[in-house]
A and B are shown apart, each in its own frame.
Chain A
């Protein structure tokens, strides 16, 4: 019998680790014989080279290249290696794919995505409205579509502030010119809008879960971040269990009728101890494999739900006190490994996007040379 084939994206685990490698580790815990197709945008994605990483790697166009480029390339991959399940792990990718759920069904590829309206309602710029509907606190915030508007918003909100890109990146600013400069940088890097948010001081909590699309939560695991790097990225966490936190997350997911993986980020205000909603991410977090090591395998549960053939049994609750620390290692390979991963493999239409890199993938490696 053909082994289960699951495609996973978001394999880079550098300064800003993506969830893909953790998802793959979790899937292998559940099904050691599973065939994993790693969908990457760049041969520098470190998860390509990890021991027990993907069985095969396929280059994909960046999401900004559009849906047509994505599906053209997916068809090539799917023809070579029929994919049963796809787990997209990048915000930008999910934003693209939610509009094309039927296109996956036509191809016989199972994928779990939220409705487009649910995805939009949890976007950073619409979060205050969602939070109001659910009776959840949010930091005062303003949306700005250019640097001057960001300056004006900073005047209204007061300092210090967090300036955030629409998908990623958050920087603390302490002066109005700094707010303007950071906004200009984020607009150039991530596009519009930027979100300016009053900084909330306190401890950060993250909740990982899977929504059933009907307003319920299949399973969830809450942690307190115990160590953070720049930009609040978590380097460690400990499992917590708080009925108030659970109720708050249930209210949000019920309101959104969220389908699929999510991560809710909150800060417990150091002064009034209220939970303040910061973000809702539409995917598994990078620490997805932590609960799997405790017996609650969220990635496998998602696949089981998608396959339908296997009943999704309830995940055990993670016990408070279990903790993780991020431990980074070097991965090693030879350049011959990526010689087969050239962008030439990707369909020509994806080259139309300027963000799709054509130059040599590694610094110091030979560049493509042509004779004019």
Chain B
């Protein structure tokens, strides 16, 4: 703690400095007051003396040259110390000042009267004083006048401070108002602007100066004004209005809707009258928009969440009830999740599988495939990977599964899991095998039907040479002594036997069941000739001439037995059609194109009616009379050609029937003799 006197002095000096008058230029009002003081007191000298730590400085003065004098031993120092009006009639006789330099030398002052300059909080910062070089005194009125002037000096000082502060505040608030994006204005009772901040310029594209004095409706636009007017009316009734409203402001002749938050603060005078109101308007459109957006997003989020939950429910339903197995494996191919279908397929419980690896249920020969599939899937960046593999069920049964697997990176650490969907295709494969078997059977049955159809002709082809053999053999004994005749007859017998061998061999080949996938390269000419052997009898019986033409002999990649069946069917149909014609002719044509082997079987028959053409490959469709055809020949032929990935079609050439069979070529690796 310091000396209270020192503290008081410090506060006093501080107060003086805060007045901001020390060492400032002369001020007319204060000069006037000092002049008044010297006139009232009839003294040649007067001054406003301000006392700081070390000196007395004269803010205004009359009759004195000096601007400042030392504080020590001065009258003013005494006045501020004492805090009361000091009147010294003759200083030379006053022991307190008789030795003061101002008395003894310099100004040689005899008379002194000083009134302390006291701040509103009671601190004495200096004095207003009058002086004379001759002794004298002041009347009571003069003293009171001097004291009044001293108060005016202080009013001046303190007003200046207040004014400075006011200006500073005004600048501050003015700057604030300039920087504010909100509209700040003062509206009078006629709804005219008395003040408007810079924000108006930005909002309405109108200079601030052009706003002052203008009706609000001219600036805001009629619509916005009318909408806000009820609030203004209430504000002018002295009731503060705080509200949010969407106003259609008129900007550049266009309506710009803005959501604003407005505050109308009535300007209530001391007599209770309302002169106008202060208006502060904030554009909260973006805020509202952001709020709406946030609301919308929250709604969307809620919907997404709901969808997500629905998806999750759907996924869970799929997972739980899918007929296909669904599993999740970790990177070591251990089960993480398995669905009931997977358990059902393999016969294990979920808890059992969760302690196992996928390799434990994979057929030993397919384990490498399974591992590679997971590896490949990882390398391919999670693209679905499909493969088939064998599983071993809990009971040791081998089943075949079709697997679709995908690797998913679960987190930033790169943890990968494999998700797979497994379909048990064991039964499907069995059905496919069964279907293939049925197909073979149907082809065979159709062949047998063809054989039945050809049996009459075949009988002739066998019986005739048999008749030769029988007859010649019976006559051998008779010509035993005629070597030439004997030789001729033996030769005839041999020829007849060859005929029978050929026809029986053809029949045997035709009747043979083709092994599935017994494909090889066969010369086209041999295929045609062998087929012709089988239908030759029929052709002879029906007196139809069957010929073949090769544009180019080549090998055909086919199943020999199956393709012969097609050719026999087509030739047989051709004979049936041609026998009704005068020409009675069937021509088999072969050509070897770059990519295809093409057979054409044309007949001289009446052709197939165009409205029936689309039906001819349907099973059991036939144009033959009852008992002549099964209606299966062409449908079986189509099935066989399809099996060769080829194409069979009907081409009508000048009203005549021509069936075209196209068999795709394969790279010839070796020729079959």
Co-complex (A, B)? no
Binding site for A on B (CB under 8 A): none
Binding site for B on A (CB under 8 A): none
